Structure 1
Amino acid sequence: MLTTFDRIISDRGSVYAVSGGPVADRAAIDAALAQLKSARRFAKATHNSWAALVAGEGLKSDDGESGAGAIILRMLETEALDNHLIVVTRWYGGKHLGGDRFRHVIGAVRHYLAHRPG
């Protein structure tokens, strides 16, 4: 079960959310992503970039937001947050954000780390 913080960042029309939770293996990652996307709002998002550490192995997907998965994974590794998935969702607002999109991915992950349960 993922914990979601919605509409945490807004910039030039783009809106960000962050979700995360414990996972035990790739099947659990796939199930968590399917559960997140079962909400129509998240299924229609422009990007659902994610990363997970499972038994020390890094898994990631940019979902079209080039470099986002690597940023999330690096932050998971820094926190030593094993067996955990973090998803940063973006709804594109029509204006390119350039390098600010990386700042927003970092901000979203920081928000999750600061407010996650447990």
Structure 2
Amino acid sequence: MRILDNIISDRGSKYAVSGGPCRSKDQANAFIKELCRSKKFAKATHNTWALLAADAPLKNDDGEAGAGMVIVRMLEREGLHDHIIVVTRWFGGKQLGGDRFRHVQDAVRIYLEDLRAG
């Protein structure tokens, strides 16, 4: 499990991104369960995730409507299959509007760059 913490901060909201090998919804649920063993991630407002599985893309917005699809599109562009990416947000008290999608994209981009770097 690769975790990049405190990567984005905006109006009090803080973001992290994590990911790892994953092939199914069951493995995705196990990944989220493992991530949430850390109290910090368990207390997050949103743990939005997506993965390109063999049959179809899988995603969960976790209350951050539309964010899972943003991750799916980025995974498709990258051609990254069987790998889950989770964008975690701790709400800071102020609505971010459309900026939240930009932050999800930035978080995934940061993760993918880190993954390529090894």
State the identity %: 59
Structure 1 Cα separation of the partners of residues 55 and 80 of structure 2? 9
Structure 1, gaps ≥5 residues long:
none
Deviation at 1:26, TM superposition (A): 1.9
Unaligned segments of structure 2, at least 5 residues: none
Give the structure-2-normalised TM-score. 0.95
- Contact 1:56 1:82 (C-alpha < 8 Å) held by counterparts: no
Is 1:89 the counterpart of 2:54? The answer is no
Q: 2-side partners of 1:61 and 1:95: how far apart? A: 23
Q: Which residue of 1 aligns with 2:106?
A: 107
Q: C-alpha displacement at 1:40, in angstroms?
A: 0.3
Matched, 1:3 2:2: yes
Q: Displacement, 1:56?
A: 4.9
2:4 match: secondary structure: strand
Aligned to 2:13: 14
CA distance in 2, matches of 1:24, 1:64: 23
TM-score, normalising length from structure 1? 0.95
Partner Cα distance (1:25, 1:65) in 2: 21
Specify the alignment match of 1:32 in structure 2: 31
In the alignment, the residues of structure 1 paired with residue 39 and residue 72 of structure 2 have an alpha-carbon distance, to the nearest angstrom, of: 26
Deviations 1:58-90 (A, max 9, x none): 000110001100000110011110101000000
Partner amino acid, structure 2, of 1:93: G
Measure, in 2, the Cα distance between the counterparts of 1:74 and 1:105: 12
Shift of 1:55: 1.1
Deviation at 1:30, TM superposition (A): 1.2
- Are the aligned partners of 1:72 and 1:105 in contact in 2 as well (CA < 8 Å)? yes
3-state SS in 2 of match to 1:97: coil
SS at match of 1:69: helix
1:15-49 residue CA offsets vs partner (Å, 9 max, x unmatched) = 00000111122221111110001100000000000
| Corresponding residue of 1:74 | 73
With over 3 angstroms needed to count, the CA separation of the structure-2 counterparts of 1:78 and 1:56, relative to structure 1, is farther
Moved over 2 A (4+): none
